Structure 1
Amino acid sequence: MGVLFLNPTCTVVSKFPRSTDRCGWCRISTGYSWKNKKKNSVYFQSNGNVTTSGGLSSLWTKRLMLTPTIGKIDRGSCLINAGSMALSSNEKTEDEILEKDDGIGILKFLRGKQFFITGATGFLAKILIEKILRTMPDVGKIFLLIKSPNKDDAMDRLKNEIINEELFKCLQEIHGKSYQSFMLSKLVPVVGNICESNIGMEEDIAEFVAGEVDIIINSAANTTFDERYDVALNINTKGASRLISFAKSCKKLKLFLQVSTAYVNGERQGRILEKAFCMGDSIARETITSMAPSTSLPLLDVEGEIKLALDSKEAFQDHAVAQKMKELGLERARVHGWQDTYVFTKAMGEMLINCQRGDIPTVIIRPSIIESTYSEPFPGWIEGNRMMDPIILNYGKGQLTGFLADPKGVLDVVPADMVVNATLAAMAKHGEAGKRAEMNIYQVASSIVNPLEFQDLVRFFYEHFSSSPYMDSKGRPIHVPRYKLFSSMDDFSKYIWGDAIQSSKQVVEATSSEKLSRKLEIASKRSMEQAMYLADLYEPYTFYRGRFDITNTQKLKEELSEEEKKSFGFDDDGSNNLVLWKRPAHSHGKTWGSRETEMNIYQVASSVGNPLVFQDLARFLYEHFSSSPYMDLKGRPILVPRYKFFSSMDDFPKYIWGEAIQRSKQVVEATSSEKLSRKLEIASKRSMEQAMYLANLYEPYTFYRGRFDNTNTQKLKEELSEEEKKSFGFDVRSINWQHYISKIHIPGLRKHVIKGRGMRGY
């Protein structure tokens, strides 16, 4: 089933928003300044534009009104905005300004374009939509594929999850009372599902959309590292294939843009170039040593993997299918050289796009770890728990004060608004008619130009929570210790279990209820198990040895005009640029891919230009939760120790179990209730097991040895005009990691995700 929506009420905009050059929230120029305030009405006519007595040009438009009939759509007398001669603050028409642009021409490109976006209610897509509407209100219709049972539900989701979202408050201020009508005149909900054939749209609806859109953006994805294999394949791999098939039916299509991830490069190490995948590419086959014969290496057959998932699902018993499918996904990913199910299925999605796209111009944007906005539409906006956020929040609450990570390793993080700006710049560069049908890839990352080391990251955590601690249930600040980083799973395990045991003892000593003591013990165990689970899950990232090359992205940045740099900048330029170049983890003497290919790949990452090292990340965490601690149920601040990092899985479990044992003893001593003591003990054990699971799941990332080269992305950035750099900037070298983590990301996480719970002063 599929239903297309267009707002049938927006024939006349009776009043424009109040005269303003800048939005009060983001301080970005809107491009409009209506000087004449006496008469600001605009009339829609069919005989051309006329100027009202107030001195403004009227809009000559056609209105597009779809009236559903039985099996057909009446596309009769209806309207699409044709633009206006809006005056800017310097008394020049917008057309004149755009003609003078000497950069990529982002605003000129966006004007009048019609978009089709999947994953529209997701974190990144909403920021992209907001940016387009704020910087170019004369954009055409933006069709949003929304998973809904019917048109009414789709409209409700559009209003509740997009239009009424806090993210759009800058647009609300700009448009005032006409905000709702403006949004409904631009955003068109389309009932559908990328996991279904024909992406879930009815035939006539699909035909109409195919005849309208200029740009398709696939932002739909399942980002859970250990998702069920069948589920992840259906959206990340098969979904991409379904959408590129739909793209072939789009008559006006100028560009297909796929939002991917820099970590599709799997377990590659050293400088990782912006290189496209071909069908059957296997990271394991690339990295194998000469000691293993090539005949023993697994071949990657995408269709075979899809069939394997379906067959396995049928074979597993109903009660075990969910867990077994999760295990199968991780197993298949690691066999072929990827960290987890998420990046493996995204890589296979890229392969299918490259294989099936034909002559469709295609751009793939590969961001590294996307976190909260750096500046636009306002700093710190975030939605949901991103990759490092569970670690941050648990630290602030005093529940997880150490983690498995290489202290000098780099966490490749990039703010969401920089990814959006790079996306718009790449779109404008490659989306004009007449462009060659190439595959252009941009990596948006920080690990080369502005690396963020874990030791700095956790220092930022500590500084933040030290000055802005969480509050406990009694309103008291939660004091956090400095974050500990462990280089081995054994050390981390000992730490976690030791902490759990200590906590259990404290609970036992604090209560005389055996039943309560037992419950608390069980909760503590679960907490520790969660910590171990996270450590295992994140290990490929906390020990990641690659750096993402951003050459394409840098070249893109250089093409921006000065004005574009102000509005669309994405330069993550830090003071410690290339500080890790001398380290073996950075290069290993390897360079993946060749720059001589005609297919251009853009990796958006920070590990080369602005690396975030784990020891810094832990320091940031400790400092944050020391100053701004969580509050416990009694309103007391939760004090957190410094974060511990363990460099091996051997060390981490010892740490985890040691913590658990210590907490268990404390629980036993704190309560006379055997039943409560037992419950607390079980809770503590579960907590430790979860910690071990996470450590194992994250290990490919916390010990990741690759660095994403983003030369292409850097070149793309250089093509931006100065104005485009202001509005669409994506230079990750400009990020000050301490300020971003401590003052933007964590406060945003606590405000928008936790919604102020356990906090004071937020």
Structure 2
Amino acid sequence: MPDGGIVERLDGSHVVLTGVTGFVGEALMHRLLTDVPGVRLTLLVRPKGTTPGTDRIRSLLGKPIFADAVEAAGDVAALMADRIAVLEGDMADVPALPADVDAVVHCAGDVSFNPPVDQAFTTNVTGTRDLLRRIVEVGPDVHYVHVSTAYVAGRRRGAVPEGPVPHDVDLEAELAWGLAQRDRVEHESRNGTALPKARARAEREHGRAGLLTAARATEEKRKEWVKDELVRLGTERARSLGWTDCYTFTKALGERVVETHAAAGDAGHLVSIVRPSIIESALETPHPGWIEGFKMAEPLILAYGRGELPEFPGAADNTVDIVPVDHVVAATVAVLAHPPERGTPAYFHVTSGDRNPFTYNQLYDYTRAYFDEHPFAGGDRGEVRLPDWRFPGTHSVERLLSTSERAHKVADYVIGRAPRSDRSRDLARKLDQQGRRLEFLRRYLDIYREYLTADLRFSDTATMALYDSLGEADRGRFAFDTAVVDWKHYMQEVHCPAVTAPVRQLDEIRRRRKKPDTSLKPVADKPRVAAFFDMDGTLLSSNVVETYLWLRLQGLSPAERAGQLGRVASRLPGLVRTERADRGAFLRSIYREYEGARLEDLEEVVDRVLTTHVLSRLAPAAVRRVREHRKQGHPTVLITGAIRPLTRPLEPLFDHIEAAELDVDDHGVCTGFLSASPLTGESRAAWMEQWAAQHDVDLSVSYAYADSHSDLPLLAAVGRPVAVRPDVPLFRHARRHRWQIVDWASPDAVARSLTPTAGR
């Protein structure tokens, strides 16, 4: 390596970079392309889906921060031809490196604080080991720069020197254990107690929609349990050995692999380890506030600005060790230009807490001052009200959070069983918002508790010695002395504006957004589109018990009506339980009441008495939608669990009506049974698929309209599902899957009489 400044020392170097699609890697690539023109880069990039690594880099170079480098080269193609090569591969299968490589900077790694344990070991330990094996193939003169984290120090307290982390963990045993956990947990998830619990819960929640729907929900729950269990195992093992989480644990073991590499061979290898603390937005380069994605502090800042973080679980005087990303990158470039002695790794902390401490109380004061001056809009309520933090300690915050979680669980149980109404849906929406806030707070407390309560001082003596050894020009261009950062300026003028800008833009889009366009959308290639409608609760405000009474109370004396109503009322609790468990059994139970009635008499009552009443109960918006479909040539299909006679008033609106058929004897008298199983839940979807195949209909572009969670399979069977005044479970599912939700209300003047002829 020649003497001179950083640019001269790196001139003509061929450097391999990993992790360039991540925050630090992208910033490092930008700095090398912009400020070190003599460096050639080979970028290890994995394909993403069907997108090759080369295309990913081409797209990356289209970002604004690379504009100067692209302009200097002529265009993206010229820049790549002149200075960039792409090596397709990933850390799970590292390909052979170029034979003329001079240095490797390893920025890739699992940066999640709570990764599944096998994933963390694969990325941070196995991937590092495989990359080092490829470096050995090239030769002993490759300078390896390993970007780690200062928090490999673990759960210790006080000063942390720049050197190896002292521990006696058996790396090979822990690696073998970590990699084996997925197979073990997957096996347990299929045999242990988690599966019966998941199935029981799914069948309670989704049984009305069908057992296959419940089975799919069970499998989703099982997969969630596997992921959560792998995270839990990694966290528990890490903390049992003295680390904050699985991320820092596996990063520490990755460093041990790097240290072994440094000492290997006759004279050892060239190894530098860079340990940044909490990396946040740029102070100056590529521009003030530049950041990609959310890091550690952003969720906290945004939640506070939204008024959703009522208290803070850390100590007011503890240090939050933040470092701007451009300082991390500048230090890494300087380290790259100054290889250490062979066989002994050089360690560099890129941190701020030892010489320029920034406390959580300052973070609160500066963040609050920023939002006092630039508040988020609170919708109709005006500006968001900011919480007052008193820093009561983690135990007090934990108690408050646990109490809130218990209250939310009770409220969620109640609202999930409440009668459908606009109010219950609004309460469900607000409850879901509160639930997301509580989940955020729980996740933040569980993941960051160790960091929020840590009392660490990372010494950066070696880093500052490197900085002081640079010439004046390099200290200006590649600045990484964190003591110069003015935290008030950084938070109020740089960081907070940067992290809130995209949120403010999204809020503005939402404010300007008109009501959702619910009109029918023409299909360009003209496939055959159909529209499927449920009846009760969707087209008209009614239910099976109510429509039964419409028919059966006609012609009865007042005393007989009272007796019939009393008998039905006494059965309601049992009917409700049956309906929640099995919609088909519920319908059969109701239709048993038709035993002894003549089918012709029921049809006559509908034609003579109920037609006007049924039509008056139709939601005008529903009728308009049916007619819109017919105007566009879409076959309209009514699928209902109501008996056939009750659908007679709707025949002019539909091309096909599939309804429950009452079984009759040879004299036309109802037996109390159905002639075929009623279409409910998954049987509706199966019937739709069969009908669509017979009529050359493409369900992927067809419509379905329904109001109940039991109709989930019907709605999921089409490409354009619409939830109509849904019950709470369907409302939640529709919001989660971004289905259209409409409110087709019956006319306000319609009476809810059970005897439509009363008073005539």
Q: Distance in 2 between matches of 1:749 and 1:213?
A: 37
Q: Distance in 2 between matches of 1:136 and 1:299?
A: 38
Q: Is the 8 A contact 2:314 2:449 kept in 1?
A: yes
1:55-82 residue CA offsets vs partner (Å, 9 max, x unmatched): xxxxxxxxxxxxxxxxxxxxxxxxxxxx
Structure 2 partner of 1:758: 507
Q: Distance in 1 between matches of 2:380 and 2:134?
A: 56
Secondary structure at the counterpart of residue 317 of structure 1: helix
**1:188: how far off?**
1.7
- Counterparts in 2 of 1:239 and 1:183: CA distance versus 1, 3 Å: same
Q: Which amino acid aligns with 1:189?
A: V
- Counterparts in 2 of 1:497 and 1:164: CA distance versus 1, 3 Å: farther
1:261 equivalent to 2:159? Answer no
Q: Which amino acid aligns with 2:472?
A: E
**1:167: how far off?**
2.7
Equivalent residues in 2 for 1:558-573, closer than 5 Å: 558-570=468-480
Q: Distance in 1 between matches of 2:355 and 2:442?
A: 32
Q: Distance in 2 between matches of 1:417 and 1:354?
A: 26
Equivalent residues in 2 for 1:82-481, closer than 5 Å: 101=4, 105-140=5-40, 142-148=41-47, 153-160=52-59, 162-172=60-70, 175=72, 177-178=74-75, 180-196=77-93, 199=94, 201=95, 206=96, 209-251=97-139, 253-277=141-165, 281-282=168-169, 301-306=173-178, 308-309=180-181, 312-313=184-185, 315-317=187-189, 319=222, 320-357=225-262, 358=264, 359-430=268-339, 435-472=341-378, 477-481=383-387
1:175-219 residue CA offsets vs partner (Å, 9 max, x unmatched): 2854552245322221101022xx1x3xxxx2xx33021111111
- Identity, % of aligned positions: 27
Q: Which amino acid aligns with 1:739?
A: H
Q: Is the 8 A contact 1:500 1:524 kept in 2?
A: no
**1:301: how far off?**
3.8
Q: Distance in 2 between matches of 1:482 and 1:156?
A: 48
Q: Is the 8 A contact 2:15 2:101 kept in 1?
A: yes
Q: Which amino acid aligns with 1:399?
A: E
Q: Which amino acid aligns with 2:441?
A: A
Q: Which amino acid aligns with 1:563?
A: A
1:264-287 residue CA offsets vs partner (Å, 9 max, x unmatched): 000111111111247x635xxxxx
Q: Distance in 2 between matches of 1:387 and 1:734?
A: 22
Structure 2 partner of 1:692: none
1:262-313 residue CA offsets vs partner (Å, 9 max, x unmatched): 00000111111111247x635xxxxxxxxxxxxxxx9984444335535534
Q: Distance in 2 between matches of 1:137 and 1:128?
A: 13
User: Greater RCO between the two (CA within 8 Å, min separation 6)?
Assistant: 1
Q: How many residues are aligned here?
A: 466
Length-normalised TM-score, structure 1: 0.57
Q: Which amino acid aligns with 1:168?
A: F
Q: Which amino acid aligns with 2:30?
A: E
- Counterparts in 2 of 1:178 and 1:529: CA distance versus 1, 3 Å: closer
| Higher helix residue share | 2
Q: Which amino acid aligns with 1:306?
A: G
Structure 2 partner of 1:737: 487
1:205-246 residue CA offsets vs partner (Å, 9 max, x unmatched): x2xx33021111111111111110001110011111111111
Q: Distance in 2 between matches of 1:750 and 1:544?
A: 27
Length-normalised TM-score, structure 2: 0.57
Q: Which runs of 5+ in 1 are unaligned?
A: 1-97, 283-297, 571-730
1:379-404 residue CA offsets vs partner (Å, 9 max, x unmatched): 10111110111111111122223221
- Counterparts in 2 of 1:266 and 1:491: CA distance versus 1, 3 Å: same
**1:443: how far off?**
0.7
Q: Which amino acid aligns with 2:245?
A: D
Q: Which runs of 5+ in 2 are unaligned?
A: 191-221, 416-420, 512-760
Q: Distance in 2 between matches of 1:321 and 1:496?
A: 24
- Counterparts in 2 of 1:402 and 1:215: CA distance versus 1, 3 Å: same
- Counterparts in 2 of 1:759 and 1:411: CA distance versus 1, 3 Å: farther
**1:534: how far off?**
0.9
Secondary structure at the counterpart of residue 235 of structure 2: helix
Q: Distance in 2 between matches of 1:146 and 1:473?
A: 43
**1:551: how far off?**
1.0
**1:748: how far off?**
1.7
Q: Distance in 2 between matches of 1:470 and 1:117?
A: 39
1:507-559 residue CA offsets vs partner (Å, 9 max, x unmatched): x9xx9612221232233133213202211211111110121011111111110
1:477-499 residue CA offsets vs partner (Å, 9 max, x unmatched): 43424444331333454268569
Equivalent residues in 2 for 1:652-667, closer than 5 Å: none
Q: Distance in 1 between matches of 2:26 and 2:235?
A: 30
RMSD of Structure 2 on Structure 1 (CA) = 3.2
Structure number with bigger Rg: 2
Q: Distance in 2 between matches of 1:147 and 1:454?
A: 38
Secondary structure at the counterpart of residue 144 of structure 1: strand
Q: Is the 8 A contact 2:121 2:175 kept in 1?
A: no
Q: Distance in 2 between matches of 1:750 and 1:169?
A: 24
Q: Is the 8 A contact 1:211 1:252 kept in 2?
A: no
Structure 2 partner of 1:749: 499
Q: Is the 8 A contact 1:143 1:187 kept in 2?
A: yes
- Counterparts in 2 of 1:512 and 1:496: CA distance versus 1, 3 Å: farther
Q: Distance in 1 between matches of 2:462 and 2:251?
A: 21
Q: Distance in 1 between matches of 2:120 and 2:64?
A: 30
Secondary structure at the counterpart of residue 449 of structure 1: coil
Q: Distance in 2 between matches of 1:500 and 1:386?
A: 29
